[in-house]
Amino acid sequence: MMHAHLIETITERLGRPAESCRALGGGCVGDVYRVRMKDGGDLVVKYDSCASPALDVEGYMLRYLAEHSALPVPRVLHSSPDLLAMECVDGESRFDAAAQRHAAELLAALHSVRAPRFGLDRATLIGGLPQPNPWADSWVAFFRGQRLLHMADMALEERAMPAALHRRIRGFAERLGDFIGEPEHPSLLHGDVWTTNVLARNGRIAAFIDPAVYYGHPEIELAFITLFNTFGTPFFDAYRALRPIAPGFFEQRRDIYNLYPLLVHTRLFGASYLSGVEQTLGLLGF
């Protein structure tokens, strides 16, 4: 999309004149731009020209977090399938100890927001991939069917995973309840906390972006954080002071929960992520 056409589209959709724009990096869905408005200030705009755009889902998720929690997220100014306009939050994905402690406070508070069941009112997205959220009374059943098996089945269908590995995952899924349990209550989750989805400034978290929202077990959120070392000891020490982390999480359960993002990454970026899946299954005896 030519920048002139994007500026025209933003002006029309927001009812405010846009002046200029420049491309930004990142984002699994669409193209990302920083847009200068003629009446002052910058916006971040995502534009998706694919045949079936779904940026309105991201807009829904950001608004859901803003309405149901105190988690700092960019304010959504316009949300439609092909165009998402948000306030521009300046920050960087580098976290000193103070920022990590602040992140722990924010996520502990988020995980205190509860629902009567696991799931959400609608399907969402993770990295642009459909994420089903039908309401469920059991976390084990929800994680088995809507996270682990859903993503593995799609990877097999797309030929991103060999059938033999898929059989191993299904064998493990049948015994999932032997390895994970039910939380005290379903917790609201950001759903995709990794380094570039968090912005910090001056030792504080400025915003969480690109969510994959639903109600689930807080341990899956914490597991994501460990997968790519988004936060370290300062975060976990501060989080543990606010919410307990049950024994066995770091030793085994985090690896079980990280099967899900590894399968997501397999579908998005290729088979190199399957080695982590195979290693975890092997350690579990599958």
Active-site positions read 192
Q: Mention every residue, 6+ apart, whose C-beta is less than 8 A from residue 113.
A: 68, 69, 187, 188
How far apart CA 84 and CA 100 sit, in angstroms, is: 28
The 10 Å CB-count burial string (b at 16+, else e) for 37-49 is: beeeebbbbbbbe
**Helix, strand, coil: what percent of the chain each, to 5?**
45, 20, 35
How far apart CA 130 and CA 116 sit, in angstroms, is: 23
Q: How many CB atoms lie within 10 A of CB 275?
A: 10
Q: How many CB atoms lie within 10 A of CB 121?
A: 11
Q: Which amino acid is at 96?
A: D
Strand 187-189 relative to strand 31-37: parallel, antiparallel, unpaired?
Answer: unpaired
Q: How many CB atoms lie within 10 A of CB 178?
A: 10
Closest CA to 44 of 210, 212, 211: 210
Q: How buried is residue 215: exposed, middle or buried, by Cβ count under 10 Å (0-12/13-18/19+)?
A: buried
The 10 Å CB-count burial string (b at 16+, else e) for 216-250 is: bbbbbbbbbbbbeebbeebbbebbeeebeeeeebe
